[in-house]
Structure 1
């Protein structure tokens, strides 16, 4: 590596600097001025707060915002409307937590794997969690969401560790291609094992079906509180890896030239991803497209800098999940469409549009 290329790489990975000659690409854009990116982030926080309020008010029994405010500030146990609001609080909190976790983990996963199509499935998270839940139902007779969460988290964590271990074998370590191949192979194997169990047990299939769809309805505080410590730890780990991911995005050789221990950096980031994905999947089931679409969408506002991509993904992803959940409550009244289905219906065309625009796929 020449001295000039190393200098350029250091500038690309350092705060407040950029590779010479790139400043003119988007003059006056949000990518050029951190102040504009901060303003967009604040706007996203405001939108998220509005949706959180709407999540408490909208449903089969719609409530005015004034009633929601009274229920939060002057709760009356004898008031039926207040009881409805309080019953929706765990669902809303779970939407915020699971959405933020999936968005943050998806962005970090794309950075670690250097793969624009990376999502929780690429590390076997969804498959591992699903097989563990099926095993818990079939072998141990688990029948409650508070019981599923521990099996799902353990299964997701074990699957992710196995994928990383397999990809690490060989001289080059866990390269992006090996991570993708190991994840795809493990996914196929785990889902095959899961299918064998489900085909042989109708009772297991009936219980598993509710969790498999993915959603935040029907969850209570026991589910939220059980996953909260893991989510918090994973968020802290991943949010601190912005500069690491910027270095990895330049390629392993340049990252090593910048002083990064590539294997250790990927391992630390993968730990945070496992904590986030495992917890979110355990609490809400396998929700598709949130971790895939959101990092691509926020790059329109942030550019390729992961120090901005990560916090943006943390805030914008719950906007998608809560919005999908709210729409799902009212689109087929008096029934509901689970959030996991709505995110796929909303996220799929958005992702196709992003890919056609050609601006969201770059890492």
Structure 2
């Protein structure tokens, strides 16, 4: 009987184990960070809250001002986590679907489409409820995505990553101009819209969360179910098709999930930028490019970052607040520039 000697372990064989350890450690760190920022979000604001008041407020007590503050901050914290997770997952999906590292709901004009639809509804149809914002925002985001894809598909070569990015940038500028054209002659609409346009979660209520939650859940399910297809798309359209993947169907379905998340998140919190751009790149450094890990861990990272940004906005200018959309821009822009310069990311 011939006994085969074991094959020596190649240096590259340790890579899966190394990624496995990094993923476990990364998820543990993010879960811990999420718990910490949740506690900070409930504790700090225009009025700091003592631990006893936190427990009283969580129990439904409104006997003290601090306990009442907790009752308002808990929905705000939950909404910040949901919106941050939605935007981060949407950004990761769009980057994978378009194979463009600069893809983002804001850059591709999806947030702009939701904004234009909502301001049109406020100005001409008297929209004023969260549920109406959500439905109109979804329609606007979907229409913007279709328009950007159609423009990026013109000419020979089809919708390349560069064409989609350019089409999205041009469309976003056009939407912003149309929003300004609608608002300028309507001061009453501008007063309603300007706080929403900055982006924030300060108006969160349990009713708002319950209204937007079904849409977010549908978006998350569609995006997570597209993880394997996005891994195949990363190989290139020709190779993916050769492996039996339905490239166009996979791209459309995954993008539809991202559009649902963007539209719903934008409707309840305004057009918050940079979460969908920065977080996926941060998470790739921890879990790699496998979308089966990237998408759920990006959800954790987005929830942590947006909640932390909301806490900072309440602390730095007390007793006033800085809206979370401003904080994410201040944090995200320089961080993303440094990340791109360090990693030299040109394609996915």
Instruction: Identify whether the pair has TM-score above 0.5, normalized to the shorter chain.
Output: yes
Query: In structure 1, how many angstroms separate the alpha carbons of the residues matched to 2:82 and 2:261?
Result: 10
In the TM superposition, what are the counterparts of 1:252-331 in structure 2 within 5 Å? 252-331=237-316
Query: In structure 1, how many angstroms separate the alpha carbons of the residues matched to 2:253 and 2:27?
Result: 26
Partner residue in 2 for 1:18 = none
Among candidates 40, 48, 51, match of residue 26 of structure 2: 40
Say which SS state the counterpart of residue 201 (structure 2) adopts: coil
Among candidates 28, 48, 54, match of residue 62 of structure 1: 48
> In 2, are the aligned partners of 1:51 and 1:323 still within 8 Å (CA)?
yes
> In 2, are the aligned partners of 1:297 and 1:360 still within 8 Å (CA)?
no
CA 1:359/1:179 → structure 2, altered by over 3 Å: closer, same or farther? closer
CA 1:342/1:278 → structure 2, altered by over 3 Å: closer, same or farther? same
> In 2, are the aligned partners of 1:131 and 1:155 still within 8 Å (CA)?
yes
Partner residue in 2 for 1:149 = 134
My pick for the range that moved more, 120-129 or 326-335, is: 120-129
> In 2, are the aligned partners of 1:106 and 1:118 still within 8 Å (CA)?
yes
Query: In structure 1, how many angstroms separate the alpha carbons of the residues matched to 2:200 and 2:264?
Result: 14
Say which SS state the counterpart of residue 33 (structure 1) adopts: helix
Query: In structure 2, how many angstroms separate the alpha carbons of the residues matched to 1:309 and 1:292?
Result: 13
Query: In structure 2, how many angstroms separate the alpha carbons of the residues matched to 1:235 and 1:106?
Result: 12
Say which SS state the counterpart of residue 200 (structure 1) adopts: coil
Partner residue in 1 for 2:197 = 212
Query: In structure 1, how many angstroms separate the alpha carbons of the residues matched to 2:346 and 2:37?
Result: 28
> In 1, are the aligned partners of 2:280 and 2:294 still within 8 Å (CA)?
yes
In the TM superposition, what are the counterparts of 1:118-157 in structure 2 within 5 Å? 118-143=103-128, 145=130, 147-157=132-142
Say which SS state the counterpart of residue 106 (structure 2) adopts: helix
Deviation string for 1:97-122 (max 9, x for gaps)? 00000000001111111111110024
> In 2, are the aligned partners of 1:31 and 1:37 still within 8 Å (CA)?
no
Partner residue in 2 for 1:4 = none
Say which SS state the counterpart of residue 120 (structure 1) adopts: coil
My pick for the range that moved more, 218-227 or 239-248, is: 218-227
Say which SS state the counterpart of residue 321 (structure 2) adopts: coil
- How far 1:146 moved relative to its partner? 5.1
CA 1:227/1:31 → structure 2, altered by over 3 Å: closer, same or farther? farther
- How far 1:178 moved relative to its partner? 3.7
Among candidates 97, 101, 119, match of residue 116 of structure 1: 101
Say which SS state the counterpart of residue 18 (structure 2) adopts: coil
Deviation string for 1:179-220 (max 9, x for gaps)? 323323332332232222122222222221111000111222
Pair 1:355 & 2:340 matched: yes
Q: How many aligned positions are there? A: 340
If the length of structure 1 is used for normalisation, what is the TM-score? 0.86
Among candidates 202, 205, 210, match of residue 187 of structure 2: 202
Partner residue in 2 for 1:179 = 164
Pair 1:53 & 2:42 matched: no
> In 2, are the aligned partners of 1:71 and 1:82 still within 8 Å (CA)?
yes
- How far 1:53 moved relative to its partner? 1.6
CA 1:187/1:103 → structure 2, altered by over 3 Å: closer, same or farther? same
Query: In structure 1, how many angstroms separate the alpha carbons of the residues matched to 2:51 and 2:142?
Result: 40
Query: In structure 2, how many angstroms separate the alpha carbons of the residues matched to 1:31 and 1:362?
Result: 25
Partner residue in 2 for 1:192 = 177
Query: In structure 2, how many angstroms separate the alpha carbons of the residues matched to 1:156 and 1:133?
Result: 10
RMSD of the alignment, in Å? Answer: 2.3
- How far 1:293 moved relative to its partner? 0.4
> In 1, are the aligned partners of 2:148 and 2:171 still within 8 Å (CA)?
yes
Partner residue in 2 for 1:163 = 148
CA 1:362/1:303 → structure 2, altered by over 3 Å: closer, same or farther? farther
